[in-house]
Structure 1
Amino acid sequence: GSVTTSYQVPPLAIVDPSRFAVELAYSPGVSMATSIVTAAGTGGSTPGSGGGGAVYGQQHLMLSGGKEDLGALAMLEDSVKKLKSPKASPGPTLSKSQIDSALDYLADWVYECCGSVSFSSLEHPKFKAFLNQVGLPPLSRRDFAGSRLDGKYEEAKVESEAKIRDAMFFQIASDGWKSKNYGHVGEENLVNLSVNLPNGTSVFRRAVFTSGYVHSKYAEEIFMETISEICGNNLHQCVGIVADKFKAKALRNLEDQHRWMVNVSCQYEAFNSLVKDFGKELPLFKNVTENCLKLANFVNNKSQVRNSFHKYQLQEYGHAGLLRVPLRGYERSDFGPVYTLVEDTLSSARALQLVLLDESYKILCMEEQIARDLEEMMRSPHFWNELEAVHSLVKLIKSMAQDIQTEKPRVGQCLPLWEELRVKVKDWCSKFHVAEGPVEKVIERRFNKNYHPAWAAAFILDPLYLIRDTSGKYLPPFKCLTPEQEKDVDKLITRLVSRDEAHIALMELMKWRTEGLDPVYAQAVQLKQRDPSTGKMKIANPQSSRLVWETHLTEFKSLGKVAVRLIFLRASSCGFKCNWSVLKWVNAHSHSRVGMDKAQKLIFIAAHSKLQRRDCSSDEDKDAELFSLANSEDDVLNEVFVDTSSV
């Protein structure tokens, strides 16, 4: 019948078998793969018979497919093991309750990551393999994005509403009205609204997505909607609002319509705005901005200089990169990108000094005037002193702003906070020989934009700030107020009580001014302890300021009602920080009702959990902190003033 043709296939001479030699990590006697293939090699093929695809020595295993064959070989070994031992020991076996509990924790983690972990990643082959390895069943992204998400949302919502019902009054905190997208139309921005409770805790209420310019009237309506949803017709439960925008319009309008409300602006935003003010108004900042931009554009765009700069960066720091220049026009609207450029310039100081000594730069100096001008600038101590001065002041303010974001100070702390800033800036002026007048003028203008009479009233009524006089009494710090602020205290207290109680409240205020608080209670309120996480001294029991009015100072009937409502109010609206991944999702599904509903639920669950843990950071912030290098100020300067004779 049929003729069968046999082909002899010699090994390919052009392939070097030693490329695929793999050192055995186990003895041939133990490895089933080795024994199987060896058996096949000895019994099933002879040299030159066409079975030369695998060649074996005592120390090396060579496969025709190279290292990529190892995975397939492992699968073969695994299959043989299973066929030989069908009753092999199974993986870990979990009970139903253990599986349910594990999946519940997993769901919490996925939702609290708020988009950092996508639902699709739950069906990733490697993740499935992991679940199988630990004895968990495969997951369905539809389940996690559907019924399980709905259940977790309802659970968080019930818990949140129970906490609000348990409180007698509350403050609305709203953050995100100041868009970080610089007004780019079409990009969604997240505004979150949460509820600050008298006991110091906060609960998330809702998320609002905005795009582009937002009118103050819209914000005003959102505030009132949120308040009405919580307390219905009993609007007196809401004693105030703190927001990062609309102090002059929406917040003031609501205060005028509802006289019991105290609506204040966010001090985290105020301090950040102060940096912008300095960037726009101080000649020092303008000069540094101009010089850094001129230097960065020359270094980045001139190939000879850039190559030399990169060479010395690699030599000095082990890495190289361009100086980060702000987008055109942004340096006028936001000093943040300029500050980044200032940091880059300072941290590259030694490399820049070495560039000046490079032969290529010397040649360039003979050809171009700008090269000579920049050399003169970089050799001047005045340039680096100005650079360090700007860096130091911005760092000081940003550090205080970061503390505000973390600590969420109460309104009574605002006056001491701004006074602390004035003292620090005065020291800065002295250190860097900067005239105090223009700097103080900028600070006072920003202070006046943010000031609210409640700052003075809360400062006076909070037992935390009582001062011990020579007779041993603990009295309110009226002497720290200006005459105008002292009048503000009277005006605010009379506004927050009924007309019939106004004169009583002022009489009680006079008594509080002259008698103060029992020294033992005052000391108990002001007791401090060291925070183990930061090492800073902090008030041991922040709620005691309010509780002492509710339990010990009961003779102050009218003034006490004002005090407990003022003292707990927060001066920062910083709340839940949303991950960019969720905002991308929102941008992609902004016209989908189902998509937006899921986004709202996911944000609510994540925000509820983070506020419970009092964690206001985002995953992006934590990752940035993890990978950032903690350089001291000496490292930042990088020995600017190089002794050129030693180079």
Structure 2
Amino acid sequence: MASTSAAEPDPDAAARKRYEGLLTVRTRAIKGKGAWYWAHLEPMLLNNAVKLKCSLCDSLFSASNPSRTASEHLKRGACPNFNHSSLPSPSPISTVLSHSHSNNGRKRTSTSTSNSPNQDHSVQHLVLSGGKDDLCALAVFEDSVKKLKSPRNLSHVAPPELTKDQVNSAVELLADWFYESCGSVPLSALEHPKFQSFLTQLGLPVTLLRREIYGSRLDDRFGLAKAESETRMRDAMFFQVGCDGWKGEDGVVKFIVNLPNGTSVFNKVVFGGGGGVVSSKYAEEILWELVSGVCGSDVQRCVGVVADRFKGKALRNLEVQNHWMVNVACQVQGFMGLIKDFSIGLPLFSVVTENCLKVANFINTESQVRSSFLRYRMQELECAGLVRVPSPKCHVLKDFAASVFPMLEDILSCAAVIQMVVLEDTFKVACMEDPLAREVAGIVQSEGFWNELEAVYSLVKLIRGVVQDIGAERPLIGRCLPLWEEVRTKVVKEWCVKYSVAEAPVVEILEKRFRKNYHPAWSAAFILDPLYLVKDASGKYLPPFNCLTREQEKDVDKLLTRLASREEAHVVLMELMKWRSEGLDPLYAQAVQMKQRDPVTGKMKVANPLSSRLVWETCLSEFKSLGKLAVRLIFLHGTSSGFKSNCSFIRKISANKHSRVSLERALKVVYIAAHAKLERRDFSNEEEKEAELLAREGSDDGMLAEVFADAPLL
């Protein structure tokens, strides 16, 4: 038994021997004494199995037949990165020519010698009239001879033959992908040789594809999307206009129409000029032009406007001129303005900013300190890079969220690294000679600095989190009052207490921004929306008037009186009193307020978001006059942020807006992309999503490599 087992070959040793043999062959080939393909195929020993790895695309193959692998993967075009012009010429023709030169006057050449696998096929001494460039042409010619000689042995698979309907369907899907990517995939990609090779492999036509996608097909797709949007707007009894981008640097303002059924449709894009140069009068004209264009003569179908700018002038003027309109400011801009208010109004922000700038600039500019910081950051956090600092051109306090917050984030995340740098001997020596180094060391080693930094960082992060939730959830205006109250509680009752910050200046800043952003419609929608009814001791579900201040109660009466016709104003107030005392049937109220967990976010959300409006239109028919106003109020959105457009594509549009043809095509693409995004309720930004995917931790590359290492080869 022992002798038998000893005679059995060791699979590990066999694999090792095979691996070493291939390494030897590859080494000789690279030196010019072997097959050309070894320059691109690298032997690897993975889990006691020998594999060949393509150095051009990192694909793995069996090592049983390297020649066949090279032929199928490299020569036949399977490798996307292989350049056929780089093919060397170890072919029979070149071999014959090489032998004819080397044998000179010999009359016979041994066949067995020429066919030996160890024969040196190097063509270093082959002389052609075109020089070394002829070797590539010779290899291609050789390949043609092989195809003619033995066509049945070729492994090349012809592209599939598709029917006309299949081709049209495939091109339509491809075109939709280009349109809906809205510039993320450049138009030039259609003519990229690799992409065209890919389409050819699938059996799709590549000739005139660019003209096909950006010609009549674009017009048809745009016409279809526009017709669908216009049909939806016509079918809706009323709507709200949302405009976003007045504050954007690119000067592109996007207009959407919010419908009562919870959906939104894209309307148009307007180039506003950017940089805050647009006048409120111009904005007012643009808004009214849009309202008239959608409504025709029945302008009262437009309940109001939500915009990221011009609340004090353009929106207010439209309300004064049209009593039925409710024009509100975007909540995203309101809370971003709150960060600006805190950065200017709280001395804590300026102190932290000044200290962080000193620390960051000293780390980034002092060579020895910088090298130590980079070394420790890579060692401790496994990431490189200096501390991000604001641009010298920006106003750090007015643009705190965008310019200063990243610096705070870097310093806070690198707290341990910075402490290690300060404790180095080289830094201690610098402190003896440089007063700035001593000051930085004092800041970093002060516990108060880190507490203040954490306080500012946590407050900004809290508000930014609210902004992010608003962008994702797009709350209605009935949610505005509770939202501000939640933020007020978190900031005053929790943040101030945790970081020992005086409440009085914080409350003053909060109230000032609240009053600046507040609209009476917030209170009215909060009272009229059955979602916010409160159960009292008797079991009734009543509107939460006790959550309003006396002034806000008056706001509700004034707003409803303004929105109603002169004949119905007193009836509306009487019905409001009845609504206040009777409320809604408990069964219907519970159904409206029923919640379920969102499978994506994990948060509890309203199960039937349209039920608030539907209850007024079906179950509360006795409130005839008040009900007409309630359904027009409670559906209004509190934010103007709709779909996120591709910034780079928008910039290209701005650059080409003086070219009529290119501008028309670009705007059609934007319309189609926006229509598709709003259709699937996708309010994400492609560029931000891509950055998030690239930055995601825990890459699965290692796991995938293990999975594919022993995967069967097709």
Same-fold status (TM-score > 0.5): yes
For residues 170 and 458 of structure 1, the distance between their equivalents in structure 2, rounded to whole angstroms, comes to: 16
CA distance in 2, matches of 1:383, 1:167: 57
- Residues 152, 605 of structure 1: 8 Å contact kept: yes
Give the counterpart letter for 2:542 in structure 1. Answer: L
Answering whether residue 490 of structure 2 is matched by residue 424 of structure 1, we say: yes
- Which residue of 122, 125, 129 corresponds with 2:193? 125
Deviation at 1:80, TM superposition (A): 2.4
Question: Cα–Cα, structure 1 residues 387 and 152, in superposed 2: closer, same or farther, change >3 Å?
Answer: same
Secondary structure at the residue paired with 1:262?
coil
* Structure 2 match to 1:246: 310
Equivalent residue runs for 1:319-358 within 5 Å: 319-328=383-392, 329-335=394-400, 336-358=402-424
Partner of residue 301 from structure 1, selected from 343, 365, 381: 365
Question: Aligned pair 1:473/2:540, yes or no?
Answer: yes
Distance 2:261 2:556 in 1: 24
Question: Aligned partners of 1:82, 1:574: CA distance in 2, in Å?
Answer: 63
**How many Å apart are 1:70 and its aligned residue?**
9.5
Q: 2:209 aligns with which of 140, 148, 155?
A: 140
User: Within the alignment, does 1:316 sit opposite 2:380 as a pair?
Assistant: yes
Quote how far apart the aligned CAs of 1:602 are: 1.0
Say whether the 8 Å CA contact 1:189–1:583 is kept in structure 2: no
Q: How far apart in 1 are the matches of 2:263 and 2:118?
A: 69
1-structure distance, mates of 2:616, 2:137: 72
Classify the secondary structure of the residue corresponding to 2:102: coil
Matches within 5 A, 1:446-485: 446-485=513-552
Alignment equivalent of 1:608, drawn from 655, 662, 675: 675
1:105 aligns with 2:173: yes
Instruction: Tell me how far apart the structure 2 counterparts of residues 630 and 143 of structure 1 sit (CA, whole Å).
Output: 41
Amino acid at match of 1:233: S
CA positional deviation for 1:330: 2.8
Cα pair 1:411 1:458 within 8 Å, conserved: yes
Per-residue deviation, residues 148-188 of structure 1 (Å, max 9, x unmatched):
21111101000000110110000000000012x3xxxxxx4
1 CA distance for matches of 2:359 and 2:137? Answer: 54
Give the Cα separation in 2 of the matches to 1:306 and 1:70. 50
Measured at CA, do residues 613 and 355 of structure 1 come closer, stay the same or move farther in structure 2, by a change above 3 Å? Answer: same
Distance 1:282 1:76, change over 3 A: farther
Deviation, structure 1 residue 618: 1.8
Mapped contact 2:95–2:123 kept (Cα < 8 A): no
Deviation track 1:484-542 (CA, whole Å, cap 9, x = no partner) reads 00011111111111111111111100000000000000000000011100111100011
Q: Could you tell me which amino acid in structure 1 is paired with residue 65 of structure 2? A: S
Letter in 1 for 2:397: R
In the alignment, structure 1 residue 276 sits paired with structure 2 residue 340: yes
1:208 matched to 2:223: no
Alpha-carbon shift at residue 49 of structure 1 (Å): 1.4
Q: Residue 245 and residue 417 in structure 1: after superposition, are their counterparts in 2 closer, same or farther (change >3 A)? A: same
Match of 1:233 among 297, 301, 306: 297
Give 2:440's aligned residue: 374
* 1:302-346 deviations in Å (ceiling 9; x for gaps): 112112211212222233212111112331320121000001111
The answer to whether the Cα contact below 8 Å between 2:520 and 2:555 also exists between their aligned partners in 1 is yes
Residues 78 and 376 (structure 1), Cα distance of their counterparts in 2 relative to 1, 3 Å cut: farther
Equivalent runs, 1:401-440 vs 2, <5 Å: 401-425=467-491, 426-440=493-507
Cα distance in 2 for residues equivalent to 1:475 and 1:620: 45
Partner deviation per Cα, 1:93-151 (whole Å, 9 max, x = no partner): 21111111111111111011111112221011001000001111105322322212111
CA 1:274 to 1:30, structure 2 compared with 1: closer, same or farther past 3 Å? closer
Residue aligned with 1:625, SS: helix
Q: Which moved more, 1:565-574 or 1:20-29?
A: 20-29
Q: Which residue of the other structure, out of 386, 401, 405, is the alignment partner of 2:452?
A: 386
Cα drift, residue 273 of structure 1: 1.2
| 2:32 corresponds to which of 12, 17, 26 | 17
Asked if the contact 2:90–2:122 (Cα under 8 Å) also holds between the matched residues in 1, the reply is no
Which of these residues, 224, 234, 237, is aligned with residue 168 of structure 1? 237
TM-score, L = length of structure 1: 0.88
**In structure 2, distance between residues paired with 1:32 and 1:537:** 56
**CA spacing shift, 1:93–1:412, aligned 2, 3 Å:** same
Deviation at residue 45 of structure 1 after TM alignment: 3.6
Counterpart selection for 2:331 from 267, 280, 287: 267
Q: Deviations over 1:209-264 (max 9, x none)?
A: 12241100010001000001101111000001000000000000000000000000
Give the CA deviation at 1:72: 8.7
RMSD: 2.8
Instruction: Please name the residue that 2:218 is paired with.
Output: 149
Q: 2:418, 2:33 → 1: CA distance?
A: 49
Structure 1 residues 455 and 131 mapped into 2: Cα distance closer, same or farther (>3 Å)? same
Q: Relative to structure 1, is the Cα distance of residues 592 and 360 closer, same or farther in structure 2, using a 3 angstrom cutoff?
A: same
Task: Provide the aligned length of Structure 1 versus Structure 2.
Answer: 606
Matched, 1:512 2:579: yes
Contact 1:55 1:63 in 2 (8 A): no
1:480 Cα offset (Å):
0.3
2:436 partner letter: I
Q: Alpha-carbon deviations, 1:533-566, whole Å to 9, x = none?
A: 0111100011000000000100101100010000
Q: Rate the CA distance shift 1:157–1:40 in 2: closer, same or farther, 3 A.
A: same
* Per-residue deviation, 1:600: 1.3
2:666 aligned with 1:599: yes
Instruction: Please give the alpha-carbon distance, in whole angstroms, between the structure 2 residues aligned to 1:75 and 1:488.
Output: 87
Structure 1 position 61, deviation (Å): 7.6
TM superposition shift of 1:44: 4.6
Q: Helix, strand or coil: the match of 2:278? A: coil
RCO comparison, higher one (Cα < 8 Å, 6+): 1
252, 256, 260: which one aligns with 1:198: 260
Q: Could you tell me which of 610, 624, 628 is aligned with 1:561?
A: 628
TM-aligned CA deviation for residue 629 of structure 1: 4.7
Aligned partners of 2:33 and 2:120 also within 8 Å: no
Change (3 A) 1:312 1:507: same
The answer as to whether partners of 2:159 and 2:203 remain within 8 angstroms in 1 is yes
CA contact (8 A) 2:523 2:556 kept: yes
What SS class does the counterpart of residue 467 from structure 2 fall into? helix
Counterpart in the other structure of 2:150: 84
Separation (CA, whole Å) in 2 of partners of 1:72 and 1:502: 93
Residue 40 of structure 1 and its aligned partner are, at CA, apart by 4.5
Kept in 2, the 8 Å contact 1:530–1:536? The answer is yes
Structure 1: which 5+ residue stretches go unaligned? 1-14, 182-187, 632-647
Distance of 2:145 and 2:604 partners within structure 1: 63
User: Is the counterpart of residue 49 in structure 1 residue 102 in structure 2?
Assistant: yes
Question: Which residue identity does 1:194 align to in structure 2?
Answer: I
Q: Is the 8 A contact 1:308 1:355 kept in 2?
A: yes
